[in-house]
Amino acid sequence: MGNEDNTAAGAKSGSMRVAVVGLGSMGMGAATSCVAAGLTTYGIDPRDSACEAFVEAGGAGAASDGRDFAGDLDAVILLTVNAAQCRDALFGEKGLAAHLKAGTPVMVSATISVADAKAIAAELEAAGLTMLDAPVSGGAARAAAGEMTVMAAGPAAVFDQLQPVLDAVAGKVYRISEKIGDGATVKIIHQLLAGVHIAAGAEAMALAAKANIPLETMYDVVTNAAGNSWMFENRMRHVVDGDYTPTSMVDIFVKDLGLVTETGLSMKFPLPLATTAYSMFATASNAGYGQWDDSAVIKVFPGIDLPDSGKH
């Protein structure tokens, strides 16, 4: 596709023009939510298939980079996998930063370290741009519904600039503080819980399998009792179905729990459960399950028979 834009017939022409960088499961939902809110929305993704799908969903245009429309943008949302992709999208050879209007707000919604959030903010400031440190949660379904949870930090003026975008993509916005890095910190703490809950759910279901308890029965009991969690209910359904088609991959939690453990190390603060969960996900990744759904962390347990639909 190169730099050629796809133009959607009848794309909505809202008063605000926004680009979503990263049209994955969360980014596509955020982008289509912006379209639904009446914002003129562009998508940026290296995959032709993602760009085409977004245009079909009503996007104003999509391309592998956004230089052709960057000068018209009023806001940018980054929903990439990691900090390296954020940097490349902004400051790389085809980066947006050099082509944006002065003062354009950039909403960095990837899960990244506090140090990376601060460094990216400083580079954006040097380029005459502003940043909201705004990680998100909620999964693909809530992203598609425009109901993500946003945990954000940054100057009040940047919150105000991005209010139409936040209204479009979020069900709940937490204004953590005006300090860049606090949003990243809250998301990292959240990911500690999310990763440990998946790992604990996998351990429980593995024990059920070892004890020859039907997994459908075990799942039904837990989801109607006190031991349930959102992650158990969502992810262990995949185990029961034997379907590891990824919505969020094992390698995402290798990355995110790596950030958690690094944060603990930087503070000399022990995180025994997070460290164990990280080891479980890393073991699953090294065993060849890195690109499978993160519920495939259950594959680290030996000597059990699990349902297998063949989907991954």
C-alpha distances (whole Å) from 29 to each of 20, 79, 147, 223, 228 are 10, 10, 10, 27, 26
Nearest to 139, CA basis, from 210, 265, 234: 234
Q: Are 39 and 14 in contact (CB under 8 A)?
A: yes
Q: What confidence score (pLDDT) does residue 104 get?
A: 98
Q: What confidence score (pLDDT) does residue 5 get?
A: 40
* Measured torsion, CA atoms of residues 107, 164, 8, 110, in degrees rounded to the nearest 10: 20
Reported in sequence order, the residue ranges of the chain that DSSP labels E, i.e. its strands, are 17-21, 40-44, 61-63, 75-78, 105-108, 130-133, 136-137, 148-153, 170-177
Distance CA 266, CA 259 (A): 10
Distance CA 219, CA 54 (A): 35
Q: What confidence score (pLDDT) does residue 1 get?
A: 36
Distance CA 78, CA 241 (A): 33
Regions of the chain where pLDDT drops below 50:
1-13
What domains appear along the chain, each with residue ranges and CATH number?
17-180 (3.40.50.720), 185-300 (1.10.1040.10)
Nearest to 253, CA basis, from 271, 227, 234, 279: 279
Global confidence as pTM: 0.91
C-alpha distances (whole Å) from 113 to each of 164, 176, 210, 268, 273 are 26, 16, 38, 16, 19
187 is annotated as an active-site residue: yes
Give me the catalytic one of 12, 101, 118, 187.
187
Query: 90: which 2 tokens?
Result: 């902004």
